[in-house]
């Protein structure tokens, strides 16, 4: 009788990402079944993700039944802000996790009647490093950067930019007073992905928002 010896090397990272991709595909199917457009919005703390969502909700809420899913370590601040615009919200407090993953989205939507909605904005946890690595099943990943973050945002996060479907440069109304070189930032984006959709907006003044909405096909 011979013993069987088997060695399995598990790449935990690979396995985690693989499991997440499977869960994301399930989410995507669920969203498609309900005819919901889902937009995953990523960006560092303070780039204006929440304000962008508030502005989009103000413009779109007559036309679409919107649900906002907020990912945050511990607070409900962002969900409360968006909720004040007559939009339904789901808060996911991730505790120690610095990003949302597909399973969290699934669990959060467990008792939600998705037939009520046709547009979902997901505000990811505020950082630009790992959220882009975890698909949630969204139709589109938007990365929000802003002119208040200094000139190296793009160059320091090339992978995140590569995985994005669109870059929104927010707070464009402050560029001049901060002497921020927006063209140089756009050039950095182009160096990572020459064809990536880039929108310069001010969520505060509304500048660039109609063009953004048009590109989103909403």
> Which 124-183 residues touch Mg ion, going by CB under 5 A?
none
Q: CB-wise, 23 or 71, nearer to Mg ion? A: 71
Work out the number of other CB atoms within 10 angstroms of the CB of residue 137.
22
> Which 72-91 residues touch Mg ion, going by CB under 5 A?
78
Stated as kind and residue range, the H or E segment containing 41 is: strand 37-42
**Site of interaction with Zn ion (CB under 5 A):** 98-99, 130
Among 44, 26, 43, 35, CA closest to 102: 26
Rounded least distance, CB 97 to Zn ion, Å = 6
202 binds, among Zn ion, Mg ion, none (CB under 5 to 8 A by kind): none
Of 27, 37, 50, 203, which lies in the binding site for Mg ion, with binding defined by CB under 5 A? 50
Rounded least distance, CB 99 to Zn ion, Å = 3
Binding-site size, Mg ion (CB under 5 A) = 3
Q: CB-wise, 49 or 157, nearer to Mg ion? A: 49
Rounded least distance, CB 144 to Zn ion, Å = 17
Q: CB-wise, 29 or 76, nearer to Mg ion? A: 76
**Considering Cα of 102, then 107, then 110, then 112, what sign does the dihedral take?**
negative
Q: CB-wise, 99 or 199, nearer to Zn ion? A: 99
CB 65 within 8 A of CB 117: yes
The SS3 call for residue 47 is: coil
CB 57 within 8 A of CB 82: yes
CB 211 within 8 A of CB 203: no
Q: CB-wise, 25 or 77, nearer to Mg ion? A: 77
Region of 70-78, 98-106, 129-137, 208-216 interacting with Mg ion (CB under 5 A): 70-78
Point out which residues pair with 141 in neighbouring strands: 40
Helices (H), the chain: 12-33, 49-60, 77-83, 102-108, 153-156, 158-163, 182-192, 209-215
98 binds, among Mg ion, Zn ion, none (CB under 5 to 8 A by kind): Zn ion
Per CB under 5 A, 49 contacts Mg ion: yes
Q: Which residues bind Mg ion (CB under 5 A)?
A: 49-50, 78
């Amino acid at each position: 009788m011979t013993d069987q010896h088997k060695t399995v090397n598990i790449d935990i990272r690979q396995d985690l990402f693989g499991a997440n991709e499977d869960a994301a595909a399930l989410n995507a199917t669920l969203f498609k079944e309900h005819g919901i457009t889902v937009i995953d919005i990523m960006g560092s703390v303070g780039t204006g993700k929440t304000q962008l969502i508030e502005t989009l909700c103000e413009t779109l809420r007559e036309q679409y039944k919107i649900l906002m899913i907020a990912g945050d370590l511990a607070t409900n601040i962002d969900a409360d802000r968006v909720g004040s615009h007559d939009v339904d919200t789901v808060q996911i407090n991730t505790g120690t996790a610095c990003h949302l993953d597909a399973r969290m989205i699934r669990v959060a939507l467990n008792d939600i009647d998705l037939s009520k909605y046709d547009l979902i904005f997901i505000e990811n946890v505020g950082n630009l490093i790992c959220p882009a690595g975890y698909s949630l099943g969204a139709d589109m990943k938007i990365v929000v950067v802003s002119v208040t973050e200094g000139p190296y945002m793009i160059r320091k996060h090339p992978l995140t930019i590569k995985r994005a479907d669109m870059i929104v440069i927010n707070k464009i109304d402050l560029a001049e007073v901060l002497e921020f070189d927006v063209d140089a930032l756009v050039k950095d984006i182009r160096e990572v992905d020459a064809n990536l959709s880039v929108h310069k907006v001010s969520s505060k003044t509304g500048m660039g928002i109609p063009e953004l909405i048009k590109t989103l096909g909403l």
